[in-house]
Structure 1
């Protein structure tokens, strides 16, 4: 008997294909029977339920994607805001120190140096010292008939014994301010810039002389402004023991020497203004034979 492989394989495959076709046909017949027995309304309900479920799943997916997108955008905004704040902080740390500003009054020619202070550059002690210097110059250089005694007592308390001798001699002269200016003039002192050269301070200030009498005229005399520089050496002494002295000089500031010079770098407003009566305005102008002690 002769063996033929090709025919044998074909013969074996034909029954398997026939069985598969039979199964498919049976499944189709079963499905057709179920569809024939099913209620059309129930089928419609099932179809709509499946369609609604599919639509809901798509909407849920879209909502989830939207939430994720908003979260990503919010995170990006937070990162950008943090970057801006960090850059601003670095700029503040690297900001250079502000320069000293010179204020020029074009009307009077007044040039004033304005000290710019910010955190960490000026100590409390220096600010306290500047305040004491300004107050001393203002009290010593101003004049008012009704406050002269109070100013004299305060300046005397802020003077060292040596400086007080010359200051008292100033008010012991015949041409002392209280004897010449009396109640007809007022002198307003305005301290300006303060500079330090070692332990010596220079205080730039202006003096405005105001005439309080019309001198027979209905038009008051215009005020006269002069510019001066006070050179001061000082020390910080013991705090006053008495309560009234603590009010006048709470820091124990003491002036050991005091001199004034005209500031010719600034023009004075003297044109067309009547001169003020000659009065002693500096302790350097007091005669050497005059002893201390105010005679007000």
Structure 2
């Protein structure tokens, strides 16, 4: 009997099969790699979106909408952006004391050459009710400036300013009253002023520039009272 010869194509077919299997395995591996890369990319994008949302949420409270007013000069036609004066100046304990002292001095002082200055200062820094309590002494034929003229000076000297919070201030001051019509020494007394104040936004469009410069923060006294200090009764003093 003769033996059947082995086919020479068998090894070739086996090799092709292995090659096909290897190619399919590579395709599956590449697909898995691409899938993992895609998921990593999606995860990275999600992290970026969450981080961006966090930044926006953090910065959102800092955003403030400020109305802008544009004023046109009637003569030149030039446009000027008007903003709140408070945008340029910050408040602090020291500035609070500065404005409190300035107000009390203007309210309590009488020096004939400074009457208009003090009058305008009190007007600019007072609410209507406080202003209404101040003005009577300068009204009518018996007003202080008509009676005293430049014959009498009343000079307050601030001794201490205490800020008690919530816009409240207590001011101890000494008042020296000198009457130049007599040879008597000046009379000195001590008083305590209590006032409530706040800062109101100013719109430069609603007032002239000089007033805005004089009170850029909008310092406003909403209540004012002054009383003699216990034990600080008036007494004579040598000049």
TM-score range, shorter chain: 0.5 to 0.7
C-alpha deviation, 1:170, in angstroms: 3.2
1:209 and 2:156 are equivalent in the alignment = no
Point out where structure 1 has 5 or more consecutive residues left out of the alignment: 1-122, 215-219, 274-296
Considering fraction of residues, name the structure with more strand.
Answer: 2
**In the alignment, what sits opposite 1:155?**
122
Find the aligned partners of 1:167 and 1:253 in 2 and give their Cα distance.
17
- Summarize the Cα distance change of 1:166–1:240 in structure 2 as closer, same or farther, 3 Å threshold: farther
Number of residue pairs the alignment of both structures matches: 146
**In the alignment, what sits opposite 1:262?**
228
Alpha carbons 1:186, 1:209 under 8 Å: kept: yes
TM-score, normalising length: structure 1: 0.45
C-alpha deviation, 1:264, in angstroms: 1.9
Alpha carbons 1:240, 1:249 under 8 Å: kept: no
Alpha carbons 1:240, 1:250 under 8 Å: kept: no
Alpha carbons 2:191, 2:226 under 8 Å: kept: yes
Find the aligned partners of 1:197 and 1:175 in 2 and give their Cα distance.
38
Alpha carbons 1:206, 1:226 under 8 Å: kept: yes
Point out where structure 2 has 5 or more consecutive residues left out of the alignment: 1-89
TM-score, normalising length: structure 2: 0.55
**In the alignment, what sits opposite 2:109?**
142
C-alpha deviation, 1:162, in angstroms: 2.0
Find the aligned partners of 1:202 and 1:256 in 2 and give their Cα distance.
14
Find the aligned partners of 1:169 and 1:235 in 2 and give their Cα distance.
24
C-alpha deviation, 1:168, in angstroms: 2.0
RMSD (Å), alpha carbons:
2.4
Rg larger for: 1
Alpha carbons 2:158, 2:174 under 8 Å: kept: yes
How is 1:1-296 mapped onto 2 (pairs within 5 angstroms)?
125-172=92-139, 174-199=141-166, 200-214=168-182, 220-239=183-202, 241=204, 242-266=208-232, 268-270=234-236
